[in-house]
Amino acid sequence: MNQKPAVLILLSPSAPADLLQPVLWGMEEEGIPFEILQAANGSIQQLAKQAADTSPLNVGMAQGGDGMVALHHRDLPAETPLFSVDSKSAHPLNLRCVGINAARLVKGQPLVFYEQSELNPAPERAPDEGGSLLEELVALVLDELVKGH
């Protein structure tokens, strides 16, 4: 049924599809096409797996009536989707990461992880105090000596 090269997204009957928008933008920015289809009721893992199995790109997604989004790959066992995110509570940028990752899974490029990406900058570390620098150096040299060869 689905012959175009695209990531397939299956929606449960009552899925809040508008919440899925950031996921789609993620895929668009990465330049990978997608296709959205309505599906019958089913477990979200099963739906996502079914989407991945059907997609010519081997990557699929599903959104459940409760807003859960799962990202799946054809080679993965049905019960373990690669990522699952709750589209009702997740930050839009986190959802965008799911879309980016769906695309990167197709492209074979390193994935992004919301909690450590620039989209979510971690607090900057305080610069080292001058006093501890010498201690660090000493520890480093000793460490190297112990390691030896």
104 binds other proteins (CB under 8 A): yes
Q: Which of 103, 104, 102, 7 is nearest to 56 (CA)?
A: 7
28 binds other proteins (CB under 8 A): yes
132 binds other proteins (CB under 8 A): no
Nearest approach, Cβ of residue 35 and other proteins (Å): 17
1 binds other proteins (CB under 8 A): no
41 binds other proteins (CB under 8 A): no
Tokens of 40: 């019958």
Stretch that binds other proteins, among 11-19, 23-31, 43-51, 123-131 (CB under 8 A): 23-31
Residues that bind other proteins (CB under 8 A): 25, 28-31, 73, 75-76, 80, 82-83, 101, 104-105, 107-111, 113, 118-119, 137-138, 141-142, 144-149
